Structure 1
Amino acid sequence: MPQLPGRRRSRVVGVSLLAVGALLGSALPATAALAAPTRPTHGAPGTRSALGNGLARLVDTPAAAQKRIAGGFRLDQDALTMRDDDGRVLVDAVPQAGVDRSAFRRSLEAKGLEVSAVDAGTGTVEGYLALSAVRDVAALPGLGTIAQAVKPRTSTGSVESQGVVFQRIDKVLRKGVTGKGITVGVLSDSFDTATTTVAGDPLTIHAADDIRSGDLPGPGNAKHPRPVTVLEDAPGEDEGRAMLQVIHDIAPDANLCFATAFSGEVGFANNIRALADPKGKCRADVIVDDVSYFDEPFFADGILNDAVDDVAALGVQYYSSAGNSGDNNGWNAPVRLIPATKGVKGTNLDLSQVDPALYDGGLQDADPGPGTDVAQTVSLGEDGGLLDLQWDDPTDYDGATIGDPYFSESGELTAPGDTATFTFTPTADQLGETVQFIADGVPSGTTDLVLTVKKPNGTVLGPIDTGSSPETAGTTLDQPGAYTITIGQYGTSVGGFTVEVRPIIALSKVTTDFNALIFDAAGKFRGALADANQLSGRPLELGQLPGPGTLQIVISRSGTGPTPVHRLRAVANGDLFFTEYGDPLSPTVFGHPAAAGATGVAAVDPFRPYLPEYFTSPGGDLPILFDSSGDRYRSTQVRRSPLVAATDGGNTTFFVSDSALDADTLPNFFGTSEAAPHAAGIAALVLQKQGGKRSVSPKAMKALLSRSTFAHDLDPFSASGSAGGLTVSAAGAQGSERDPVPGTLNDPNFFRVSYTGSVPLQSVTFLGETASPTAPGRTHPPLSDGIVFDPRPFSAAGPDFRNTGFPFTVGGTGGGLAASTVRASYAKPFGATAGTYRHLTVTFDKRLRGGQSLRFGVDRDLATSPYGGTNEGNGADELGGAVFAPQRIVDPIGLTFVAVRTDGKKIVGIVKNRLGHGYSPVDGYGLIDAEKAVLGR
């Protein structure tokens, strides 16, 4: 990344450092009244009225502070600003009547104005001028007015994604690089079939409206008349059209195509190839999707991976959303099986209603520490959530070898809520056989079915719903009597189906059968996800768990003897959260975003504070052990995904709804689903600049984008700082206070304080206003108001925790420190919420001595939340420094802590994030800088 000129860059960082330096060098007042290091405030506004179009607002904000206006678009004035590569602002200077225009122009140039155009009628001179010179120009004799030249509305339509500015795409477009000659294909749910909004209201804005407004190309858009080529559409919410709007903002002259990905995995794979077909209607150079199927393999290549790799081999760039399962949605552990009799000791689990065949191979110890716990607690919101458990066995799409059917019937689901029930009674010869129950749509894969099988003794297999048909359940016919088969539908899916029972002649390549046993909080057995995996050929258990409430998940094994399986991994979706033994960095990227030919894209919030979205799926170096045929690779394939990050939350004309995070009333499109088309659009610009179509190979493009990013946080979910033997650290993911779980809001071990000094400490004070430099500010915008401490009582009522706090709570001590001798006090009330404070002081009645440590928690909130009041701000990354985009400015200053020693001396330190360039499993190599990627600067 090109550095800003040294003086300009150091001005921002230097101010903060000087503030802390002054604190270090001064005689600090008493601990309870400590003054925080402050960030620069604004000077008094100018008085000359000749500064028009809001130019005075730009001038009256110091250059360093102006560079902190992250994203620009959130503040109206900067959203209208046009700047050159040196940061100068485009202005219009108009002479008074009768003034010598040649002399007037020369006087402007002498003040540093670089003339770009002159209007012969009015004598207006337009050009780029440093803000520091505006006052001098305004004082020139003969000047009539000087005004900011306001940025025009782009030709791409009435709505523009915030990512255009945030990722410096606007600077590329100004250079005439607009995607001309490049074709981008999009795969999502639908293009123009929706009749209602996501919220269920009538949809009034359709593709024809987007074309008329200029937000999509097509007849009626004078500048871009070539319409979107639609290969196949499907019923949906038109999320694909929203993605196409984003790409049209970024690469307005690119040709656009669409094909649905909602036709099952095979249909999805076929449409990937159809978009890239050199002889097809589209012939895409770049393809992007935002769809995943939950039965895509975690540890193997699959059908979609093969399709992605096929088009990448043709030179096509492929981008895929990393996923939105990043908020306590992942669990990952080595296989540690213990006998069931040992595992249930000390628990409330009642196994009396569980078929012993489901756990005869043992129970998984979910506790990663030295303890033992086979039950992992999960919390569910009102809508429940989907659990996807997989392990490192091969995926065998052929599955077991199946014989001729013992039973065959057909039926049709014609209306929402329909079910069909069949009974199958095995003959004496069939008893003891291993069979597979199979339900499939007609034609195959078309009807989204739910399969449930109940054995004669009442044992239930299912419900089984992998996201598309066919659905299968394997079992041994070990009981005489009738087996009841129930066929239901997912959502409103209707259509014909077949149901069969077929004998298993040979097992699949899957070696091990794991199950997920579901218990309620009281330990009562509620059901099981228990496919016969060696029959299905799928090493996964997948099911929707109802909410709201708390459940216990027990992973068990069917079958005994050694197993080659080493690792288990689970991903939650919807309102399902691992509230015990979860890891915020557990990989939840899976399937084709980890294909060799794909670029997985994470999401970064363009609104203050600037962080990766709390829900963006973490990944990392993901091991792929098997090919799509179920054969083990000679050596493990390591796929790094996500690779890069891009913007989400941008405006569209209709999708999904307006957010309080921006000042307008346009709908905002959040999720990695919007980030992926931002990355794809930038790739189209790169291709045009590099020579067109296949001018850059997918491998070379990955390398180029990886090194064309803004600096970012390299130690996600943690921050720390040390001074004078005192170390303060914090660990915890961001989370959302609107989720059914409070995240780290009430974590009593969030902070850790340790001391190795020789002189004991009386107290440590934490200064919240110095944290989170990119957070919103109302007292001195556009600078940050930092965070506040919220010790109000915690309420577990949920699911909205924005109006609750968490008092200071000791989670643990070390080195002989007694928890009873530690107390907290607060100072400097601040924010819209009563009972929140800028300063927290932790006092040690018997002193904190060398070798001692303390873990504690207290709620942290953004002092000025964009949602109103004081809320959010719970992650450790909020405490440290941050990076301003699009300004490319790194501000390392974070939460300041001030300790008072028993000899009266002070220790001052800063909690920091590790900011720089490199890889993080949360946002890859970071947010793509389009100017760097396309123009090389």
Structure 2
Amino acid sequence: MKSALPFIAATLLSLSFHSVNAQIKGDPSFPGVAAGATVEKSSSTLSPDLQKLATPPKKAAAAIGKPIPPGVGEYTGYLQLKGNNVLVDVTAKEDIASAKAELQQLGATVISTYGRVISASIPISALPQLEGSATIRFVRPAYKPMHVGVRYAAAAGPKPAPVISQGDTAQLSYLARKQYRVNGSGVKVGVLSDSYNNLGTADIGVDHGELPGHGNPFGFKTPVQVLEDLDSGGTDEGRAMMEILHSVAPGSTLAFHTADKGQADFANGILQLASVGCSVIGDDVFYFAEPFFQDGILAQAVDEAKKRGVTYFSAAGNESIRSYTSPYRATNVEPLGPGFGTAHNFSGPGAPPRYFQPIYIPTGGIFITSFQWDQSSFTASGVGDSTDMDIYLLDNQGNIVAAGNSNNLASGDPIEVFGYQNLTKNVTFYLVIVKFAGIDPQNLKYILYDDALFYLTKPPIPGILTPSLVGHTKAAGAISVGAAYYQQTPPYGVNPPVLEGFSSVGGVPNYYDIEGNRIAPLIRKKPEIVAPDGVFTSFFNPFNETIPPGSYPQFFGTSAATPHAAGVAALMIDAQRLHTITPSQIKGVMESNTWGMVDPYTPGSATGFNFAAGYGLIKATGAVGEVKFPNAYVQALQLQPLCSPDPSKTRNFQITNPNPFEVQVSWFVIGSDQRGSFTMQPGDTTFSTTALYYRGGPLPVIAGITWQDNFEFPHLGLAYSTRAQCGKDSVSAANSDALGATTATGKSFAAGAKPTIAEVSPNPSTGLFRLYLSLDQPQNIILTLYSADGRELQTQRVAAATSVIDIDATAYRPGIYFLKIIQGSEVKTIKLMKQ
């Protein structure tokens, strides 16, 4: 290992420079004159890149209305061409079934539909026939998605057999398996990535023990379930992720679905994995046309999976702060000529205006960007945007070399995507953003993908080097995962751990909900956690780099971090045994069991949540240990009264949730029909009730809350309201309704009243039953076991019981028995079945 460290360090330093700084010295100013437009911009049903694909070059240039110099063209490497077909994402106008039928009549193969989007493979020759379609609103390429693995270095050293991820050590999951005797057994984990076995070598991984399957030498014989693989051309990054998963949770069963056949197919793949029993899913995919400022169809599918009980992990991305974010600054300047849009001013207030932003693209380098603004996306909500914005890339001579200039009013999406490969010696280019039609947006954002860098201008352009974590990884239902190189973690001698320089930073708001309504900026805490990367796999070499003899390739990127986190979730579910742990609980327990990490972009920052490293690097021993069966890890909620502006009309209460995860809570008022339920976030939440009267006289208001612990046992909290008036009285016992706590029927309610509940698991059992008590304080318990014919078999008296009592029935024959439980004045009988 030591001999390879200098090479690794050099590689990481290069990655860090291009990702963390994302800028280069220099302050070039645009020396040329922008070439004018020749014809008006097209209102085609096809995106500009599809128009070029389907039309001879001269016609294509006229169709988009901008001259393209000979020999220099837009990068098309992200188009997914399959022979004479191209993979597309189609937006239906209203009736998706009619749009689907029209595509099929043109010879297209419909792969999947989700919401308003159809993923399909269509003959290139059929594209012109979509113009003027009555059922189809817009067609764009299903851009080859970005997989967030990065270039790596190969590390020398003895080949382990099988290859085990070093991240298993860095996050202590190897110790968690040993200490708590778990391996993910009984848990199914799904992966979405490019491909599983396009290389045809999956069986080798099975035979060596890196994957489960019939030939696995360690007894993990259940093969990977492949729901849908990529037809061809994949790097098998999904299989590399599964090797990491198998290192962390070798007892888990695995399933795979490609994410590379369009957004609709990706969304359906998420739900298909959930439908076949995956309780944990991880992906490492981002589509350039995912909305930045609204939950698109992929985010919506993630949220639906969470509702079905799936804990969903998504790679945060590898763009660090390689983004430009700015309020839109309108001008009357038309840099591309009259009638082709007014420029956005890149300069801040008080600085000379700047309409051409310099961008560095090395010779041979690729620049891909997604440019968006804060309006609703039709594909996400059915409500389209109100502005047509365009973005152009110019060279030093003023030639437009690439553009994102579709008709956004026609497409309904405030999104422009384009790419460019620099095949010239010139490295300085300029971005121009113009408003072509519609109302002014409020905010703009684009992200630098691949090789482009910002210039460090004087004065610096405000808005560069801003968060880049966007798309479905910032969905409410996703756990977004950042990356730390495994050798820069506490088990390898570095504490606090160090964030990878490329790991994407969160903090990008949503401005619209999925109904298309403008909302107050919603910023979710993303990423939530960090997991290791830079680890060995047995085969994964997507960049075809030379691997030294006696070594294995290393897998860097948040793509590699994500399966480490998903594997820990599988261990947690295995440890909890009952499989009642929820995705929110897994997320909260993980967040509270980490090594804290500092924000590398905020000098002097302390550990704790930040938008670079979330809550820190996963500590698997803590997370698994906290939920180890039969521990109760859901702390009791607390209910207390608050003052009221007018106690004669309303009474106020506060619920405190001390857990690091959300809890489902129901509240009610005794003796009335006032009730409600909600998902309570960590911290304090208040609710109001109406004051009660009987025959003209006031009644005490006694509110209750109910929730379930991790054994699915209900708990109850009660509190008397207060008659204290805010700003006048103190909230004290003297003002409590407890002083007159008698209902209209004359029954008194004790201030500390609590339920007494018990359940048995496992039931049926081969001999040992366990009684689980849901008690907020110790109680004396009497337990009596009876045969089916009423004979008393055994009696236990347990003083100050709290949670779990063993009932040993190994000496009795299989059959039905009854357990009588006496807790104070409460009596309950439970039927037991001995197998």
- 2:601 pairs with one of 702, 710, 717: 717
- Find out whether 1:383 has 2:365 as its counterpart: yes
What are the equivalent positions in structure 2 for 1:890-905 lying under 5 Å apart? Answer: none
Would the aligned equivalents of 1:708 and 1:928 in 2 still touch at CA under 8 Å? Answer: yes
Give secondary structure in 2 for the equivalent of 1:210: helix
Distance 1:394 1:663 in 2: 53
Q: Which range moves more in the overlay, 698-707 or 310-319? A: 698-707
Would the aligned equivalents of 2:155 and 2:553 in 1 still touch at CA under 8 Å? Answer: no
CA deviation after TM superposition for structure 1 residue 514, in Å = 1.4
Report what 1:864 is aligned to: none
Indicate how the Cα distance of structure 1 residues 398 and 640 shifts in structure 2: closer, same or farther if over 3 A, else same: closer
- 1:511 pairs with one of 380, 386, 396: 386
Would the aligned equivalents of 1:286 and 1:317 in 2 still touch at CA under 8 Å? Answer: yes
Distance 2:530 2:388 in 1: 37
- Find out whether 1:260 has 2:269 as its counterpart: no
Give secondary structure in 2 for the equivalent of 1:552: strand
Would the aligned equivalents of 1:585 and 1:921 in 2 still touch at CA under 8 Å? Answer: no
Give secondary structure in 1 for the equivalent of 2:595: coil
Give secondary structure in 1 for the equivalent of 2:183: coil
Indicate how the Cα distance of structure 1 residues 209 and 369 shifts in structure 2: closer, same or farther if over 3 A, else same: farther
- 1:271 pairs with one of 239, 260, 269: 269
CA deviation after TM superposition for structure 1 residue 585, in Å = 5.1
Report what 1:926 is aligned to: 616
Report what 2:454 is aligned to: 578
Would the aligned equivalents of 2:472 and 2:478 in 1 still touch at CA under 8 Å? Answer: yes
Relative contact order, higher structure (CA 8 A, sep 6+): 1
- Find out whether 1:314 has 2:296 as its counterpart: no
CA deviation after TM superposition for structure 1 residue 543, in Å = 0.1
Would the aligned equivalents of 1:395 and 1:629 in 2 still touch at CA under 8 Å? Answer: no
Indicate how the Cα distance of structure 1 residues 684 and 371 shifts in structure 2: closer, same or farther if over 3 A, else same: farther
Would the aligned equivalents of 2:170 and 2:486 in 1 still touch at CA under 8 Å? Answer: yes
CA deviation after TM superposition for structure 1 residue 310, in Å = 0.7
Report what 2:768 is aligned to: none
Distance 1:269 1:252 in 2: 27
C-alpha deviations, 1:544-576, integer Å up to 9, x for none?
02226221101111136x53x211111111112
C-alpha deviations, 1:870-892, integer Å up to 9, x for none?
xxxxxxxxxxxxxxxxxxxxxxx
Give the residue type in structure 1 aligned to 2:535.
G
What are the equivalent positions in structure 2 for 1:747-826 lying under 5 Å apart? Answer: none
Report what 1:289 is aligned to: 283
Distance 2:549 2:357 in 1: 42
Give secondary structure in 2 for the equivalent of 1:696: coil
- Find out whether 1:569 has 2:445 as its counterpart: yes
C-alpha deviations, 1:471-505, integer Å up to 9, x for none?
xxxxxxxxxxxxxxxxxxxxxxxxxxxxxxxxxxx
Report what 1:539 is aligned to: 414
- 2:191 pairs with one of 186, 193, 217: 186
Distance 1:274 1:160 in 2: 29
Give secondary structure in 1 for the equivalent of 2:613: coil
Would the aligned equivalents of 1:649 and 1:669 in 2 still touch at CA under 8 Å? Answer: yes
- 1:395 pairs with one of 353, 370, 377: 377
Would the aligned equivalents of 1:658 and 1:666 in 2 still touch at CA under 8 Å? Answer: no
Report what 1:687 is aligned to: 573
Give secondary structure in 2 for the equivalent of 1:340: coil
Give secondary structure in 2 for the equivalent of 1:377: strand
Would the aligned equivalents of 2:589 and 2:626 in 1 still touch at CA under 8 Å? Answer: no
Indicate how the Cα distance of structure 1 residues 245 and 365 shifts in structure 2: closer, same or farther if over 3 A, else same: same
Give the residue type in structure 2 aligned to 1:219.
H
Would the aligned equivalents of 1:339 and 1:363 in 2 still touch at CA under 8 Å? Answer: no
C-alpha deviations, 1:654-697, integer Å up to 9, x for none?
0127999999711111111111111111111111112253x222
Gaps in structure 1 of 5+ consecutive residues:
1-72, 80-151, 196-205, 342-350, 401-507, 720-912
Distance 2:296 2:605 in 1: 36
Report what 1:212 is aligned to: 207
Report what 1:521 is aligned to: 396
CA deviation after TM superposition for structure 1 residue 528, in Å = 3.2
Distance 2:522 2:602 in 1: 29
Indicate how the Cα distance of structure 1 residues 543 and 683 shifts in structure 2: closer, same or farther if over 3 A, else same: same
Report what 1:340 is aligned to: 333
What are the equivalent positions in structure 2 for 1:298-697 lying under 5 Å apart? Answer: 298-326=292-320, 329-340=322-333, 351=335, 354-360=336-342, 362-367=343-348, 370-381=351-362, 382-397=364-379, 509-547=384-422, 549-559=427-437, 562-563=439-440, 565-580=441-456, 581=461, 586-608=466-488, 611-620=498-507, 622-633=508-519, 635-656=520-541, 665-693=551-579, 695-697=580-582
Gaps in structure 2 of 5+ consecutive residues:
1-153, 489-493, 628-835
Distance 1:678 1:514 in 2: 40
Report what 2:165 is aligned to: 161
C-alpha deviations, 1:718-742, integer Å up to 9, x for none?
53xxxxxxxxxxxxxxxxxxxxxxx
Distance 1:914 1:663 in 2: 42
Distance 1:264 1:533 in 2: 20
Give the residue type in structure 2 aligned to 1:592.
H
CA deviation after TM superposition for structure 1 residue 329, in Å = 2.1
CA deviation after TM superposition for structure 1 residue 399, in Å = 9.8
Distance 1:927 1:208 in 2: 33
Distance 1:374 1:240 in 2: 43
Distance 1:658 1:707 in 2: 39
Give secondary structure in 1 for the equivalent of 2:622: helix
CA deviation after TM superposition for structure 1 residue 333, in Å = 0.9
Report what 1:808 is aligned to: none
CA deviation after TM superposition for structure 1 residue 375, in Å = 1.7
Give the residue type in structure 2 aligned to 1:179.
G
Give the residue type in structure 2 aligned to 1:385.
F
Distance 1:237 1:302 in 2: 27
Would the aligned equivalents of 2:506 and 2:527 in 1 still touch at CA under 8 Å? Answer: yes
- 2:220 pairs with one of 202, 209, 224: 224
Distance 1:527 1:386 in 2: 10
Would the aligned equivalents of 1:302 and 1:627 in 2 still touch at CA under 8 Å? Answer: no
Distance 1:526 1:292 in 2: 25
Report what 1:914 is aligned to: 605
C-alpha deviations, 1:289-333, integer Å up to 9, x for none?
01111000000111111111111001110000111112x621111
Would the aligned equivalents of 2:547 and 2:553 in 1 still touch at CA under 8 Å? Answer: no
C-alpha deviations, 1:177-206, integer Å up to 9, x for none?
2111111000111111126xxxxxxxxxx1
C-alpha deviations, 1:827-847, integer Å up to 9, x for none?
xxxxxxxxxxxxxxxxxxxxx
Superposed CA RMSD: 2.9
Give secondary structure in 1 for the equivalent of 2:286: coil
With the length of structure 1 as denominator, give the TM-score of the two structures.
0.46
Distance 1:577 1:283 in 2: 43
Give the residue type in structure 1 aligned to 2:503.
T
Distance 2:347 2:372 in 1: 15
Give the residue type in structure 2 aligned to 1:641.
K
Give secondary structure in 2 for the equivalent of 1:555: strand
Distance 1:585 1:934 in 2: 37
Would the aligned equivalents of 1:378 and 1:551 in 2 still touch at CA under 8 Å? Answer: yes
Report what 1:31 is aligned to: none
Would the aligned equivalents of 2:294 and 2:380 in 1 still touch at CA under 8 Å? Answer: no
Give the residue type in structure 2 aligned to 1:569.
K
Would the aligned equivalents of 2:302 and 2:312 in 1 still touch at CA under 8 Å? Answer: yes
